[in-house]
Chains A and B, each alone.
Chain A
Amino acid sequence: MRALILSILISILFVFQSSFFSHLQFFGTRPDLILGMVVAVAITAGPREGALAGLLGGFLADLLRGNFIGLSIPGKVLVGLAVGFIPKRVYADNFLVPIFTTFLAVVCDQLIFLLLGQSFGIGQSVWISMRRFVLLSACYTALLAPIIAKLVKDLYHEFQVRGWYKEQRML
């Protein structure tokens, strides 16, 4: 059930990212809401949930895009895992930390995507893409991170209440 709800949430975020934020661009870039959610899940529920969210997020995003299916998965899974391993006390009551983490997460995710993409014939220059799009998109996503984090935190609280999730990470 948790995976299903996360999948629905990812789909909704994809739709918002592709439609709503297409009209609300920041210097020609859109936020990576799915990665924002992966980071938020990892912060809230640890590396395993972060990796699961990364797997679902990467896979659904690729399916909805329609090509290079699976290429987004490694970056998002790795980011979900890495962020999930950061001790939770680091995030306590400091909204700047999720913002900064999300910024770095977007940069890492896109870097992995672009580097892997080079192997599969995506001719996009890593440096140019990073400079023109990724950094701006990372800033945009990072600014929205507190909202996504609150949403995911409330969602996981609801999962716990309904018994769909049992907190596993070390505090």
Chain B
Amino acid sequence: MFRSTRWVWPILIGLILGLLVMVYTTSGERTQITVVERLLRDAVSPLQDGITSIIYQVTETWNSFVNLGRIQRENLQLKEKLARLAAENSLLQESARENKRWAALFEFQQKSEYNLVAAQVIGRAIPDWFNLITIDKGELAGIKPGLPVITTAGVVGQVRQATANTATVLLAIDSRSAIGGITADNRDYVLVEGAQDQSRLLKVKPLASDARLEVGCQVVTSGLGAIYPKGLPIGEIVEVQEDQYGLTVTGLLQPATDFSRLEEVFVILPD
């Protein structure tokens, strides 16, 4: 049938017309697809997925390989930057803390009835058991040996030596230190001495035989020694001990000041 040439043109024209109709009907926006298209796409999609995932993996591996040197350089630069920023951040945080402390000290100084000179601790004696600190204010600021040193928490110690711009302070926890005190509740006079050991607890000795020492009792300066003004917090009694005959009592006192974290102090100048 098809070998006859008289059928060629009608078939060809029919095919062309059919083709035009097909193109025309599928030229618009199609929301539905035919079963043949659906089957064909479903058939090729696993292969498409497989190739695409292989391509992604190969591309990723290749990019990683190509970018390795750049990434290493970047990593190094970022590490340097991070270290720099961490240092800057640390400095800023430290400045903020210092500002906060100084603000508190300034407020304390303003409200205080004493003539105070604020100073910064710039050194500690080595080894630690010397219990001496060096502050950044000296004779030029009116500081001289014997002046009391305090913090916002309480008594720190006493100036031992002074140069033009520095002073050495003997801390109250040193065994050579002795401060006249009074119990806040019972009003018994006591002597607060530095610890003989490294316990950082002060020793409380009552001056009167009938004095009552109680755990939890606050001890403040008595003002009798002519060094410390009256009423400065020294610490709190944490332990009371009697001698073997029950005649005398002594106490151990937890200082109000944290001597391990001294950074800024005040020296009380004479009026």
Chain A residues packing against B (C-beta within 8 Å): 11-12, 14-16, 18-20, 23, 60, 62-64, 66-71, 73-74, 116, 120-121
Q: Which A residues are CB-close (under 8 A) to B19?
A: 70, 73-74
Q: Which B residues are CB-close (under 8 A) to A116?
A: 23
For residue B37, CB closer than 8 A to chain A, the reply is yes
The CA of A148 and the CA of B258, in the complex, are separated in Å by: 86
With A15-B44, A63-B40 as contacts: A68 and B51 at CB distance below 8 Å: no
The CA of A68 and the CA of B40, in the complex, are separated in Å by: 16
Chain B: interface size category: 20 to 34
For residue B13, CB closer than 8 A to chain A, the reply is no
Say whether B27 contacts A68, CB under 8 Å: yes
CB distance from A6 to the nearest CB of B (A): 14
Of residues 29 to 71 in B, which have CB atoms within 8 Å of A's CB atoms? 30, 33, 36-37, 40-41, 43-44, 47-48, 51-52, 55, 59
Say whether A64 contacts B40, CB under 8 Å: yes
- Tell me if B's interface is mostly helix, strand, loop or mixed: helix
Q: Which A residues are CB-close (under 8 A) to B28?
A: 67
Chain B residues packing against A (C-beta within 8 Å): 19-20, 22-24, 26-28, 30, 33, 36-37, 40-41, 43-44, 47-48, 51-52, 55, 59
Say whether A64 contacts B44, CB under 8 Å: yes
With A64-B41, A64-B44 as contacts: A19 and B26 at CB distance below 8 Å: no
The CA of A71 and the CA of B23, in the complex, are separated in Å by: 6
Closest to B33 in A: A66
The CA of A23 and the CA of B41, in the complex, are separated in Å by: 20
Say whether B27 contacts A19, CB under 8 Å: no
Instruction: Determine which of A16, A23, A69, A73 lies in contact with B26 in the assembled complex, contact meaning CB atoms within 8 Å.
Output: A69
With A70-B23, A120-B27 as contacts: A11 and B33 at CB distance below 8 Å: no
